[in-house]
Each structure stands twice: as C-alpha cells, then as structure tokens.
Structure 1
C-alpha cells in the first residue's frame, strides 16, 4: 500500500454486524419468513432479495428470547436519541424480544444493515410493535424503518443511518457522528465549533460523512477486503454532498467546495472509540471556529442557516420595504438570466410560529408565476419539521421579506434585513 502525505490509511475491520430488537408482549405471531413475505412489492427488489437470501443463510440469525435474557437497554440514552414515553412503556411491558442479527463483509452494499433492518421491521409490523436499532440506540416504528431502506436504485438518505450528536464544553461545541461504524468506517468528530453554528455544522458534518463514505466504499470495491483504505487528508464538502445526504439530490445549488483536513485521533483507552477529526486546512490563520463559520457561510449561500427572528423597529421596517420594492425587478432579471455568472438568488420568508413568524431563507429554482417561488430551503426550520436543508419549498411572494444575490464570497446584492440583524445598520438600496 502506497502511503503519502495526501492520504490517510484507515484500518478496515474484518467483518461487520448489525443487531435489531423487536420487543413484544408474548411470542411472535408469524415466522420471520412469513413476515418478510408480507413486504413483497413494498420493498425495493435489492433489499427484499437480500433479506430473503440472508434469512436462509448462516449470515443472519433470528431468535426469540425472554426480556430477562438480554442486557437492559438504557432508558436515558434511548430518550436522548428520541424515544417517546409510549415506546419506553411498550419496552417495559414486553415479555420477549425478537433479536435479529446479521454479519457481512465491509463494502457496498451494507447487506447486514439493510437485511437486518428489513427483517426486524417486518416482524415488528406483524405485531404492531417497534424496532430498536441497537447500534444507534433508537426506536423506529416499522414504517420509518422501511422508508429508510434503499429504493430501486439503491439510494438511501444518510441522515436515516448516521446521527450527529453534540455536546458543549469550554472550547465550544463537540460534534460527532454516530453511524459510520455501521459501514466499517471510523466516526467523524469536530471540536471547538462556535455555539451559533449548531444547526449548520450538523449539516456540514453530515455532508462530509457522505463524501468520505463514498471514498471509503470505493476503496472496498475489490474482491478482497483490504487491510486499509486510504482517505484523502484534504476532504472537500459541497452543498451537493449535504443535499444528497438529506435525500434531496436535485436541490444542491452551486456552492463552492469547502476544504477540511482529516486527522486520525486514536483512542488511548482500549474501551473507547477512535475518531477521524475534521479541522481547518493547513495554513488557516486564526482560531478553528472562525474557519468553521466561513465554511458554513460558503456552503449555505453566504447566509447562516440558523434561524433568525426579525427585530421590530424603523430600520427593519425600511429594510423589508426596500426589499419588497425590488421584487419585480429582481424577478425580471432572474427570468432573463441577467444575474451575475455563478451567482444564486435567495429569498427570506416567514413561517407561522407560536411566538410569531420564523424567518428562513430559500434558494430560488424557478419563479414562473409572479405569486409564488419554487425553491430549496437553505436551513432547518424550528416551527415546521418538513422544512429542512435542501428540501423543496413553495414560497408565496406575499410572504417574502427580503432577497439577496450571492456568489462564493457571500451577499453581493440585497440582504437588507440580514444587514440590520447582523450589524444593526440602516439599510441602503444597492444598484
């Protein structure tokens, strides 16, 4: 194996395993094979075939045990990863667990994960129960588990398989991934992320996971499993990587790539996990947090995806009025391809919330009707769980309060309300 300064050799495990549980009161109603047959026509052929084949092979086991035979699952961690009171209640009332285990070699497809999750979902559906993903310590209802499995083209949303938890310390936020080890790869981490980038950096790390996972599986494409896969020391992340990871490949925007340096951070405790750390590239001046903020500004079209609420006052009122007065002109320029090359038009609009409107940004894809804009969200919304980074949105023009033209450096025109929020400055129309 060639080792250079451009690549980092990452060890490959010999085999991978997946474990899923189905808690139930009493014994299963049907056999696993019968449960899986009920999914015929509802699962994409690659997954349905994998599940049925692995059920008939030594690579998968499905056992029913009494609840006392399995180590107790930690309720506090299950709650931290989204378990509801109803799900915890059903677990507490369960007398038995169906334990689905599968093993497979590292590489793509991750047959152990896809097949085990499919079989567990089929068994859970047969008893109106839940699936517990032991690796992620997550409850999944059967419908959610089935939706996370690949489509006929083998595509998945990485966010259904990789979580990005974070915690806070004196240096800022510490982000990690939880799910890349399903595919044999080390988890990613970033330390010292500024607090105001909570949403943004979670998306960036998800996009980085998508890009590096592709490099990882490419390195495992041969017939023999290698001892190491060489990952690039300087990894690139784009808006397209983020959009694909969130399941919206067509909503990728034209963002410049961001460079991140990959470092191996081996665990000193044999019981702890090693990580791949993402840091600024060599030669970056100033603190790491400043680079992370710049990276987010680049990937999210020059505007932070963190939710901002409009402040009342004359300056904000004038900013909104200035932006709205220019809507007809900016639409005409957009439709006539009159905007600067390699630029993007974004609009800010309000979503209804209990504490007043929540203002978020969206990239403009089409504006055929004067009354509505079709685009892609540039941020996750607090008030509407369907509005996620890269998700398609339809914006009534009557609800638009600002617009901006962006290039790789940030806002080059417009953005009057953002100027008021960021700097407290009075808006001045640009020409």
Structure 2
C-alpha cells in the first residue's frame, strides 16, 4: 500500500453486522418470510431481493426471545434520540423481542443494514409495532423504516442512516456522527465549533459524511476486501454534497467547495471509538471556529452582505416591508422551537457607514426581548471592523430589513431582499 502525505490509510473491518429489535406483547403472529412477502411491490427490487435472499442464508438470523433475556435498552438514551412516551410505553409492556441480525462484508451495497431493516419493518408492521435500531438507539415506526430504504436506483437519504449529535464544552460545540460505522467507516468529529453554527455545522458534517462515504465505498469496490482504504487528507464539501445527503439533489446551489483536513484520532481507551477529525486546512490563520463560520457562509449561499439601498416604492422597499410584516410570527415560531428540523434563523440588518448603510446577516441565538436580537455575525462587515464572521452581535429589531430560514440546501423561507437582488433588480443608492 502506498502511503503519502495526500492520503490517510483507514483500516477496514473484516465484516459488519446490523441488529434490529421488534418489541411485542406475546409471540409474533406470522413468520418473518410471511411478513416480508406482504411487502412485495412496495419495496424496490434491490432491497426486496436482498431481504428474501438473506432470510434464506446463514448471513441473517431472526429469533424471538423473552424480553428478560435481552439487555435492557437505556430509556434515557432512547429519549435523547427521539423516542416518544408512547414508544417507551410499548417497550415497557412488551413480553418478547423479535431480534433481526445480519452480517455482510464492507462495501456497497450495505446488504446487512438494508435487509435487516426491511425484515424488522415487515415484522413490526404485522403487529402494528415499532422497530428499534440498536446501532442508532432509535425507534422507527414501520413506515419510516421502509421509507429510509433505497429506491429502485439504490438511492438513500444519508440523514436516515447517520445522526449528528453534539455537546457543549469550554471550547465550543463538539460534533460527531453516529452511523458511519454501519458502513465500516470511522465516525467523524469536529471540535470547537461556534455555538451559533449548531444547525449549519450539522448539515456540513452530514455533507462531509456523504462525500467521504463515497470515497470509502469506491475503495472497497474490488473483489477482495482491502486491509485499508486511503482517504484524501484534504476532503472537499460542496452544497451538492449536503443537498444529496438530505435527499434534495435538485435543490442544490452552485457553491464553492470547502476544504477540510482529515486527521485520524485513535482512541486511547480500548473500549472507546476512534474518530476521523475534520479541521481547517493547513495554513489557516486564526481560530478554527472562524474557519468553520466562513465555511458555512460559503456553503449556505444567499446570505451575503450587500450595500445596496431601496428607493421608496421600488421592489426592494416592498421586500423589506414584507419581511418586517412577518417578524412577530417568525419570532413566535423561533421561541416555540417551531422551525423545521436542522433549520437556522438569520436576520439582515443595517450598519451605519459613510456612504450609507451596509446590510449584513446574523444568525439568531436568542430573541427573548421583542426589541432586541442576540446573535452572531454570518459575515465580515466592510464598514465595522468589529463585526466579523462568528463575532457576537446585538441587533435592534428596528434595524432588521429581512429574515430567512436556512437548512442544508440554502434559503427555505424568507430572504425577500436577496430574491430581489438575485432577480437583478438592484436599486441605486440614494443619499
């Protein structure tokens, strides 16, 4: 194996396994094969064929066990990963578990995961029950589990298979992935992410996971499973990677790629996991957090600052009026945690300058007082050297001229002034 400074050799496990549980009160009413046959015509051929073939092979086992024979699932972790009271209640009332396990070699397709999830979903559907993904410690209803499986072209949404949990420490936010080990790849991590990038960096890490997973499976495409796969030390992430990972390839914008340096972070504890750390590329000046903020600004295009001003009655003026009319409603939704999952609220406001105001964007961290927004700048200002990407800002609501809700694909709501600029209606400055 050739080892160079451009590639990082990542070890490949000999085999991979998947485990899914179906809690139920009593014994299953039908066999696994009967349950899977009920999915004929509803599952894409690649998955339906894999499930039926693996059921007839030693690569899969389906056992019914008394719930007392299985280690107790931690309810606090299940809750942290989205379990509802109803799901936890059905688990507590269950007398038996149907345990679906499958093994397969590393590579694509991940037959162990697809087949095991399909069989578990079929069994759960037969009793109107739940699927428990043991790897992700997640409850899935049968419909959600089936929807996550690949379509006829073998495409999946990576967000259905890889979670991005995070926690806070004195250095900022620590992000990890949870799900890449399903495919044999080490999990990713980033440390020192600024607090205001919670949703944005989760999307970036998901896009990076998609890009690296593609490189990983390309390295496993041969007939023999190699001992190592060489991944590029400088990984690139684009808006397209993020959009595809979220299942919206047609919505991606033409963003510039962002470079991230890949480092192997081996665990010192034999019981702990090793990680692939994502960091700024070599030579980046300043703290890592500033680079992460700049990367998000690059990937989530459409929130650039502008120094154009509206004449009364023109399209820009109407855009500002529309945005301001919706401020009370978007504040209420923000405070009620009513924004879409993984979305972030940003506002555009004016900074005074010698030639007129400069309009910049800021991510909203808190909006407790109706007249004041606490946030972090999403761009470097030209007129005020203290306003830099990631720097804390306090915005008077009277200065807000626009707002937008962003997800991994860009602006999904709001952004009226940006729409005017993108349409080419650029009013001249007035003095």
Instruction: Settle same-fold status: TM greater than 0.5.
Output: yes
Shift of 1:405: 16
Change beyond 3 A, Cα 1:415–1:211? same
- Quick one: structure 1 residues 415 and 427, their matched pair in 2 at CA, closer, same or farther if it must change by over 3 Å? farther
Aligned 8 A contact 1:165 1:175 in 2: yes
Residue of structure 2 in register with 1:240 after alignment: 240
Structure 1 CA distance for aligned equivalents of residues 352 and 273 of structure 2: 43
Deviation at 1:390, TM superposition (A): 23
- Structure 1: which 5+ residue stretches go unaligned? none
* Partner secondary structure for residue 421 of structure 2: helix
- Larger mean Cα displacement after TM superposition, 123-132 or 338-347: 338-347
Q: How far apart, in 2, do the equivalents of 1:243 and 1:43 lie? A: 24
Moved more, 318-327 or 295-304: 318-327
In the aligned structure 2, how far is the partner of 1:292 from the partner of 1:388? 13
Seen in structure 2, the aligned counterparts of structure 1 residues 241 and 373 have a Cα distance that, compared at 3 Å, is farther
2:371 is aligned to: 371
Cα separation, 2, equivalents of 1:388 and 1:131: 46
3-state DSSP of counterpart to 1:250: helix
Normalised to the residue count of structure 1, the TM-score between the two structures is 0.75
CA contact (8 A) 1:104 1:111 kept: yes
User: Counterparts of 2:115 and 2:357 in 1: how far apart (Å)?
Assistant: 44
Deviations 1:95-125 (A, max 9, x none): 0000000000000000000000000000000
Mapped contact 1:78–1:138 kept (Cα < 8 A) = yes
After TM superposition, the score normalised by the length of structure 2 is: 0.75
Match of 1:398 in 2: 398
Equivalent pairs, count = 431
The change in CA–CA distance for 1:338 and 1:226 in structure 2 (over 3 A counts) is: closer
Q: For 1:384 and 1:96, locate their aligned partners in 2 and report how far apart those are by CA, in whole Å.
A: 64
Give ranges in structure 2 of 5+ residues lacking alignment: none
Shift of 1:168: 0.1
8 Å CA contact 1:200, 1:305 repeated in 2: no
Are the counterparts in 1 of residues 167 and 174 from structure 2 also a CA contact under 8 Å? Answer: yes
Q: Deviations over 1:214-233 (max 9, x none)?
A: 00000000000000000000
- Residues 347 and 363 of structure 2 are in contact (CA less than 8 Å); yes or no, is this contact kept in structure 1? yes
After superposition, the CA RMSD in angstroms is 12.1
The 10-residue stretch of structure 1 (342-351 or 140-149) with the greater mean CA deviation from structure 2: 342-351
Deviating more after overlay: 418-427 vs 185-194: 418-427
- Aligned to 1:46, what secondary structure does the other structure show? helix
CA distance in structure 1 between the aligned counterparts of 2:382 and 2:228, rounded to whole angstroms = 41
State the alpha-carbon separation in 1 of the partners of residues 5 and 244 from structure 2: 29
**Matches of 2:21 and 2:338 in 1, distance apart?**
57
Give the direction of change, closer, same or farther, for the CA distance of 1:406–1:167 in structure 2 (3 Å limit).
closer
1-structure distance, mates of 2:235, 2:367 = 35
Query: For residues 105 and 376 of structure 2, what CA distance do their matches in structure 1 show?
Result: 38
| Preserved CA contact (<8 Å) 1:255 1:408 | no
Which stretch shows the higher mean deviation, 53-62 or 387-396?
Answer: 387-396
